[in-house]
Structure 1
Amino acid sequence: MTETRSTCPYCGVGCGVIIESDGAQVTGVRGDPDHPANFGRLCTKGSTLHHTAAPAITKQARLLHPMRREHRGEAPYRVSWDSALGLATETFAQVIGEHGPDAVGFYISGQLLTEDYYVFNKLAKGLICTNNVDTNSRLCMSSAVAGYKMTLGADAPPTCYDDVDDAGCIFIVGSNTAWAHPILFRRIEEAKARNPQMKIVFCDPRRTDTAEIADLYLPILPGTDVMLFHGLLHIMLWEGWTNGAYIAAHTNGFDELKATVRECTPETVSQTCGITKEDLFTAAKWFATSPATLSLYCQGLNQSSSGTAKNAALINLHLATGHIGKPGAGPFSLTGQPNAMGGREVGGLANLLSAHRDMADPQHRAEVAALWGVPSVPDKPGKTAVEMFQAAADGEIKALWIACTNPAQSMPDQSTVRRALERAEFVVVQESFATTSTCDYADLLLPATTWGEKDGTVTNSERRISRVRPAVAAPGSTRHDWHIAVEFAQRLEKRLGRATKLFAYATPESIWNEHRESTRGRDLDITGLSYAMLDSAGPQQWPLRTGDSAGRKRLYEDGVFPTADGKAKFANVAYKPVAEPRESRFPFSLTTGRLRDHWHGMSRTGTLGRLFGHVPEPVVQMNPSDMSRRLLKEGDLVHVTSKRGSIVVPVQASPELGFSQAFIAMHWGSEYLSGCTSTGAQIAGVNAITTSSYCPTSKQPELKHAAVKILKAELPWSLLAVGWLPDDEAIAAREEFKRLMGMFSFASCVPFGRERSGVLFRAAGYEAPPEETIAKIERLLHLHGADTLRYADRTMGQRRAMRLVRQGAEARLEAFLLAGDTSAEAWIKTLLQDELPAQSYGRQLLAPGSKPPAAVQARGKQVCTCFNVPEDAIARHLSGCAGTEDERLTSLQGALKCGTNCGSCVPELKRMVRAVIPLKQAA
């Protein structure tokens, strides 16, 4: 066995991993105990990375060879790399020649490595001479970038993870840190345990698991963050809690801001934000009077039509109180993706240039042109993500190159995005997984390497650069992302008649060295860093200038900022409500967010059934009182409709949500949730209904809020089909089910099972589909042959099929289909999921409306993914458990092991413990 140190490809915490491999196969993964981001810990996603590299998944889900489509809608066929890149070169050259360089666009990803990013940025801006290169980081971090630049002068988070240990107050806002950045949350839990005097304030419209650690929870109404921050500053001014000496010595613009916040009285803030004046006062006091206050924030601030204002208004609080540039203090933007920071470093956005240079600055453009050896770089800002796809939908952009991202799932307003992909004359998708929705629109598919195979660097939330190292060879014909871009660029140089050789790179290190030189003298100067130093000394933070032996943990400790006069600037921003407020026709505020065990569009995590245990299927969550008023029951199908479209999804009660609020996880794209409208139009997952309204400064869309209506869906016919399949068939079957989903008014398809591979397909409609559709579903689950029991009643539209496989003296259920009546699903699914003896239930399995046998108890929701512990087992243990909250939790962990591995389920366990204690006391 070989061990290779690398980095996790999920969130911006940037955890180190040790990859175990045997020859060409990844066999295991564990946390790197020497990596300062995680010290050996991994969350549920990171700890299952090796399972996503299993041979069956590589064979079925990976894109392994270049593929071409002659015509849209047809199946692609395999071509050589020479043919693929030749076609791409000729087509892009023709479009550029006929329509100009701005007729092409590159949409890339925060999951690319810094070296990949650098080449794409140089390809677009240096060779083609267009700034139409943007990234899915636009959906993630662009408001954080703009907020830092507006106030502190540069896109440079001034804090580090060690500040969690030194903070006297942690202010978490717009971030479900417990789920989005679990390993950092573990560190917060430990810091709180060591220092019970630490105050934690959590501010978010949803009472998520992160609230479990908070001393104060502020359930503000969606989009009211700026008013909250101004209200906090108003109280700080009134009470004399601002730091006048710091303000005078190190900032500008405070008087203008004071005039704005004067109007944000506690009464006004209370009414606008929906919180009490007492809680507002407490939050202000803790923030201002703590020895050191650290704020942590993410998409709740960023994904907003006021995203830049929200970020800047929060930073104002740190400048006003002097909580910046010292241990335990500062505004800490939690990066959403593994290398969104690296992309920002190389200027991989449509309005930026390398090393935090501004496109609008002539000197900055001249510096980049000189570094690259080109006459100039274009000064016109390129199309940002939303603008790029709108331009393609309008016919302005003719050719799109999409790398390592899935806009047909992740972009808002999917009808526009899909119209763009359909209208573009040529779409290249450079991707590791063949199963993403965007692949369906590609004229050319280019296979890229992925985690465990790549070589380069990434930068995490605390400005720490880590090496990504390959543990195994690239499978099939896959190539590294930088290599694909370099060869395309070299061919395009020749085709366009350019004499330059801008892309003479043989290794990722040669690319990184050029990037390093671009940072000389800049705020992120890394000229003292090298691959050799990263290999010998481990991950390093920037800046790390020539002559430095280590990077800088914190920025602005001397009170000097990267601005013209060295002072930070207060941002005098105004409060504005959400772009699409609730109204009588659309009375609910819909927000989107993450699930604990999944990542983005789930192209990787979605291959593992074990990661669907905690939240097994798509749902929309509502406040129980809202459901009651609308006569909705748990599991009812509802139409969730905005001004842009409608989806059908089951409803689930959630006490996390306030009145008139709803939540759908961001991960549910058309790969997992689909259907068709009454007119036959295809439904495209949750982002069919989100708005593309965006912040005017950062251009980041308001994915966190859309006004919707929620009405019960009258779909009397339903179907559920579940079954175990051989590993090499499960993903292929899911792809076939995905093609069937559009035949129903509602359909979802997800992986199923933990140690075995399974598929769960659910559908509903106004009436039963054609007989051949049901027959195809049965064939996909091998529900045919002598081992299958059947029941059918065509007049009632009912059909049942059960596949039993004998194991010794017993028979076990391997697959089943319930059509027309799915009321028995809980106990029948339990028979299959728990692999219980099923032979004695033969007739009962086929009987419509059959009641569950007493011997078969449906499993509760899975709470602990690592040890497969359901909530009913936890409840049973707690019912006989005495002692304090900590003692009961310790007993629970000792008996069932839940919460003892990655710790992601600990907040939920604590909530369950607290829920039991009052009941026992009342008894």
Structure 2
Amino acid sequence: MSSVSTASTHVSPDATVCTPSLIQSTCAYCGVGCGVDINVTDNKAVSLIGTADHPANNGKLCVKGSNLLNTIDLTGRLLSPEIAGQQVSWDDATDHVAQKFNDIIKLHGPDSVAFYVSGQLLTEDYYIANKLMKGYIGSGNIDTNSRLCMSSAVTAYKRAFGEDVVPCTYQDLEQTDLLVLTGSNAAWTHPVLYQRIERAKKINPAMKIVVIDPRETATCEIADNFIQLKPGTDAAFFNGLLNYLSENDGLDTHYIAEFTEGFELALAEAAQWSVTKVAAFCEVSEQTLISVYQLYCSSKKAITFYSMGINQSSSGVDKCQSIINCHLASGKIGKAGSGPFSITGQPNAMGGREVGGLANQLAAHMDIDNPQHQDKVQRFWQSPTMATKAGEKAIDMFDKIASGDIKAVWIMATNPMVSLPNREKISEALSKCELVVVSDCVDSNDTLAFADVKLPATPWLEKNGTVTNSERRISRQRNAVTPAGEAKHDWQIIQEVAKKMGFSGFEFDDVSDVFKEHAQLTQFENDGERLLDLSGLTQLTAKEYNDLTPIQWPVNARHPDGCARVYADGKFNTTSGKAQLIAITPQLPVQRTSTEFPFLLNSGRLRDQWHTMTRTGKTSKLSAHTDKPYLYLHPTDAANLAVENDDMLSITASTGAAIAHVKVDDKQRPGECFMPIHWNKSFASHGNVSALYQSIVDPLSGQAESKHGAVALSKKSFKQYVSVHTASDTNVTADFWVKSATEYGSAYQMGLDEPTVDAMAFSQQISGLSGEWMMFEQDDFSYVVCLQAGKLVFLSYFSNSWPEIEQAWLDHVFAEPSLEFATIQSLLLGIASEEFSQGKQVCSCYSVGEKSIISAIEQGCTSVDELGEKLQCGTKCGSCKPELASLIRQYQPDDVIMKIAV
């Protein structure tokens, strides 16, 4: 196995890094798995770029990846173990956890404890956690937040192919004739792949792209066809496609006969879905359906690229299966440019699946309810016991915590108070739990508020191990610096607790030892039963492991350098060796609108933020594009509710409530709204969208229905609005507030139900600052400024409407070492200098505002490329390109022929 040195002075995983060195690692964000080159000097990362020869990204990075080093400071880090809020030694902490787990298991049995882990863990961390729970404690009660992300895709792949195997590779995106993106706003969620697709279409204009989504998203900018279907009707669309293929000579009858089973039953169900019926059910035109169905039928190669919009459903497995059925029936699988391609949302969602991170799996793609597999894993581990049934999936796990059946839970690298649906229910469960242990790298978040024990884990840049991306590619995530404070790697923490619980089998000296055992288990008595086979990596030395280059599994004697394309021979991992088509009966979502809750709620990611903003929320670069939670609303609905852009709405559901600003958006369907998932109690008082969803799951996968809720909307007003800008920590006291990172510190927007009597006293109280305080009052406005030695350290505006302030101007004045009188006067009047009047930031890489872009368009820039030449926007990560194209269409002069050259 070939390898190359990737760290010129990196001699051991946790050794001090000498000066200078280049560390090659993997990005901490989505499942694309981009390689990054990190330059390190004196144990400090000083610069980062994309790895030019990493096959996942070829040097490209999105704006989140480009700004990774802006998110790694020690502010808010958990650096020492804590019990009941008091710092303790690692010995005391691990003794306490081990003793409490043992006591609870002794009294109540192994199913009285649980682990809830994360796609942010590395494969080695996942492996140790799974080994401890299933092979030594003897319970299946370990589940992961990937349950909320990809479990429906996992179940469908396993049902169809016999194993959880993604059959596609990123190169297929460049080799296809037709790319169907459904349930994926890839332009924002997987920007590097989106740019790869965009480039492929530019090279091959004959390539066709279809986008299927209830929202017209940024991804639609490259679409030849856009189907804005009724939410939740995806399975009907693909059943209709299967029926159309049958009626229009689009089936591969040889492939069906030779390599599949179940076609007749699947087609019998699909035959009920004529174009007319599908059009009515999905609320799209028949002609639009026919044009897309015909494209699929006539294309020799086709990829269906799908993500959370398909998976996060009460019938997500069937939706995934309906996609797979079409590929199997048309033979568009197992060859270049073809296949059903589920794209993972987390950096190691697939690595967790490989080692059994889900409650209904065993390690190495073996089945938890299969006695032969139970015996095989137990013999390999030489463990004292083995889980013999599936544990509790995420939603059920917290139900069991609430009922008292599970009395101890260890949460690792995730924030279920924000990510799981029905926030109040999760809060109630954690409040009742006898023991809540949380391993994390931050010292506070919504979930840590419930922790009895806090264990400091290493974050990205300090972590060391492997991750697997969406195309089955294993990459090294190398630590570039030594762990801060007393932080330890998750696998080390779990190993120490396991030993103190009295278990052998956890004597690992190095992370490479953990990886080798994982690889050996994939090989153990495999005999070709499972494609997950890492036998070619079982003998790696520590140095070879450290130097490991990205590789796609399987890696074995047949594929010593890895394997990009699987199932090319038509042999699958089912009992019969044939792929299974399954008859699908489309189901509408369980959560429905009503007279009480008349609006349909959808949710998802924003372009520049990630999950619960633990990292991305720390940098102004990533907060500038969208600095507060919005509810996107169709103009007709906005008019009926008498709201405009930036007004506020109360959002209520049967499970909870939220408050958000309005974003009027004609790309929504009437009666439907969209809200981002990222905001939580660390960044907003009322911005958590998961509080609005019921705990409805797919019965097969256990994945939550997080794309379809029912809410009521009403206009929300406050008596007074306050905008606070500060260079230091602030004690927020308000009925409503939102926080965002700035170059100088933090900005807060607050709403008060009753106006403050004294703006100066209010500002001094929340800031806790001493200095030169000044205030100016005019009509319904008050402006308060605090200077220290002439430098601005605090600024607040009070009014009866939301104050509008140019952020670029504030960045400038806060950076000034001493303010001139004229600037102070401008601050007290709330009047920004014209040169800083940028408007909403569009390009985060180069801080290019909307006003500058519109001006350039009006001056003659008629393409994205021309805007890039003039302003640099869109020339780095490319994430803003769809928005630039949209602005060109909106603001180009009438007599100019648009030529969007993205």
Q: In the TM superposition, what is the alpha-carbon distance from 1:830 to its structure 2 partner?
A: 5.7
Q: Distance in 1 between matches of 2:642 and 2:140?
A: 52
* AA matched with 1:363: Q
What's the counterpart of residue 650 of structure 2? 639
Which residue among 779, 783, 787 is the counterpart of 1:800? 783
Which runs of structure 2 are paired with 1:618-633 in the superposition (5 Å)?
A: 618-633=629-644
1:107 counterpart SS class? strand
Q: Distance in 2 between matches of 1:427 and 1:30?
A: 39
Contact 2:864/2:874, CA 8 A, preserved across alignment: no
What's the counterpart of residue 667 of structure 2? 656
Q: In the TM superposition, what is the alpha-carbon distance from 1:696 to its structure 2 partner?
A: 0.3
Which residue among 743, 748, 751 is the counterpart of 2:741? 751
Does 1:271 pair with 2:280? yes
Gaps of at least 5 residues in structure 2 are 1-19
Which runs of structure 2 are paired with 1:399-798 in the superposition (5 Å)?
A: 399-493=408-502, 501-520=504-523, 521=526, 522-530=530-538, 531=540, 538-546=549-557, 548-675=559-686, 685-723=688-726, 725=727, 729=728, 733=729, 736-737=731-732, 740=733, 743-744=734-735, 746-752=736-742, 756-768=743-755, 775=761, 777-781=763-767, 784-786=770-772, 788-791=773-776
Does 1:901 pair with 2:884? no
Deviation string for 1:191-224 (max 9, x for gaps)? 0001000000001111111110110001111111
Which runs of structure 2 are paired with 1:873-912 in the superposition (5 Å)?
A: 873-881=852-860, 888-912=863-887
Q: In the TM superposition, what is the alpha-carbon distance from 1:843 to its structure 2 partner?
A: 6.0
CA spacing shift, 1:435–1:27, aligned 2, 3 Å: farther
CA spacing shift, 1:778–1:235, aligned 2, 3 Å: farther
Does 1:145 pair with 2:157? no
Q: In the TM superposition, what is the alpha-carbon distance from 1:623 to its structure 2 partner?
A: 1.1
What's the counterpart of residue 242 of structure 1? 251
1:137 counterpart SS class? helix
Contact 1:65/1:447, CA 8 A, preserved across alignment: yes
Contact 2:136/2:384, CA 8 A, preserved across alignment: no
Does 1:6 pair with 2:25? yes
Does 1:21 pair with 2:51? no
Q: Distance in 1 between matches of 2:309 and 2:629?
A: 21
1:819 counterpart SS class? strand
Q: In the TM superposition, what is the alpha-carbon distance from 1:842 to its structure 2 partner?
A: 5.4
What's the counterpart of residue 50 of structure 1? 69
Q: In the TM superposition, what is the alpha-carbon distance from 1:650 to its structure 2 partner?
A: 1.2
* AA matched with 2:714: L
Q: Distance in 2 between matches of 1:838 and 1:631?
A: 43
Does 1:919 pair with 2:898? no
Q: Distance in 2 between matches of 1:777 and 1:447?
A: 34
Q: In the TM superposition, what is the alpha-carbon distance from 1:833 to its structure 2 partner?
A: 3.5
Q: Distance in 1 between matches of 2:825 and 2:851?
A: 29
Contact 1:783/1:816, CA 8 A, preserved across alignment: no
CA spacing shift, 1:294–1:534, aligned 2, 3 Å: farther
Contact 2:838/2:848, CA 8 A, preserved across alignment: no
Which runs of structure 2 are paired with 1:349-428 in the superposition (5 Å)?
A: 349-428=358-437
1:802 counterpart SS class? strand
CA spacing shift, 1:384–1:332, aligned 2, 3 Å: same
Q: In the TM superposition, what is the alpha-carbon distance from 1:839 to its structure 2 partner?
A: 3.4
Q: In the TM superposition, what is the alpha-carbon distance from 1:374 to its structure 2 partner?
A: 2.6
Which runs of structure 2 are paired with 1:306-325 in the superposition (5 Å)?
A: 306-325=315-334
1:185 counterpart SS class? helix
Gaps of at least 5 residues in structure 1 are 70-75, 494-499, 676-683
What's the counterpart of residue 101 of structure 1? 110
Does 1:41 pair with 2:60? yes
Q: Distance in 1 between matches of 2:747 and 2:69?
A: 23
Q: Distance in 2 between matches of 1:879 and 1:265?
A: 47
1:673 counterpart SS class? coil
Which runs of structure 2 are paired with 1:102-121 in the superposition (5 Å)?
A: 102-121=111-130
What's the counterpart of residue 200 of structure 2? 191
* AA matched with 2:665: S
* AA matched with 2:81: P
Q: In the TM superposition, what is the alpha-carbon distance from 1:709 to its structure 2 partner?
A: 1.1
Which residue among 805, 811, 832 is the counterpart of 1:833? 811
Q: In the TM superposition, what is the alpha-carbon distance from 1:535 to its structure 2 partner?
A: 5.2
Q: Distance in 2 between matches of 1:365 and 1:827?
A: 62
Deviation string for 1:766-818 (max 9, x for gaps)? 213686x98465455466532x212469xx997531235787xxxx8553212
What's the counterpart of residue 80 of structure 2? 65
Q: In the TM superposition, what is the alpha-carbon distance from 1:536 to its structure 2 partner?
A: 5.2
Identify the range of structure 1 (240-249 vs 481-490) with the bigger mean alpha-carbon deviation: 240-249
* AA matched with 1:910: A
CA spacing shift, 1:513–1:844, aligned 2, 3 Å: closer
Please report the TM-score for the alignment, with normalisation by the length of structure 1: 0.91
Q: In the TM superposition, what is the alpha-carbon distance from 1:241 to its structure 2 partner?
A: 1.2
Contact 1:366/1:376, CA 8 A, preserved across alignment: no
CA spacing shift, 1:39–1:841, aligned 2, 3 Å: closer
Contact 1:170/1:295, CA 8 A, preserved across alignment: yes
Q: In the TM superposition, what is the alpha-carbon distance from 1:264 to its structure 2 partner?
A: 1.0
What's the counterpart of residue 681 of structure 1? none
Q: Distance in 2 between matches of 1:783 and 1:801?
A: 13
Please report the TM-score for the alignment, with normalisation by the length of structure 2: 0.93
Q: In the TM superposition, what is the alpha-carbon distance from 1:465 to its structure 2 partner?
A: 0.6
Contact 2:166/2:472, CA 8 A, preserved across alignment: yes
CA spacing shift, 1:774–1:378, aligned 2, 3 Å: farther
Q: Distance in 1 between matches of 2:761 and 2:99?
A: 45
1:145 counterpart SS class? helix
Q: Distance in 2 between matches of 1:119 and 1:774?
A: 55
Identify the range of structure 1 (290-299 vs 836-845) with the bigger mean alpha-carbon deviation: 836-845
Q: In the TM superposition, what is the alpha-carbon distance from 1:922 to its structure 2 partner?
A: 9.5
* AA matched with 1:45: K
Q: Distance in 2 between matches of 1:566 and 1:304?
A: 29
Deviation string for 1:620-675 (max 9, x for gaps)? 11112210122111111111111111111111112221111111111112221215
Deviation string for 1:679-709 (max 9, x for gaps)? xxxxx72211122100000000011110111
Q: Distance in 2 between matches of 1:630 and 1:375?
A: 63
Give the total of aligned pairs: 867
Contact 2:512/2:545, CA 8 A, preserved across alignment: no
Deviation string for 1:255-278 (max 9, x for gaps)? 111111121121221121121111
Q: Distance in 2 between matches of 1:652 and 1:618?
A: 10
Q: Distance in 2 between matches of 1:120 and 1:775?
A: 51
* AA matched with 1:817: S
Contact 1:158/1:330, CA 8 A, preserved across alignment: yes
Q: CA RMSD in A?
A: 2.2
Contact 1:647/1:686, CA 8 A, preserved across alignment: yes
Identify the range of structure 1 (913-922 vs 480-489) with the bigger mean alpha-carbon deviation: 913-922
What's the counterpart of residue 135 of structure 2? 126
Q: Distance in 1 between matches of 2:708 and 2:390?
A: 27
Q: Distance in 2 between matches of 1:301 and 1:18?
A: 34
Q: Distance in 2 between matches of 1:345 and 1:136?
A: 15
CA spacing shift, 1:672–1:919, aligned 2, 3 Å: farther
- Of all paired residues, the percent bearing the same amino acid is 38
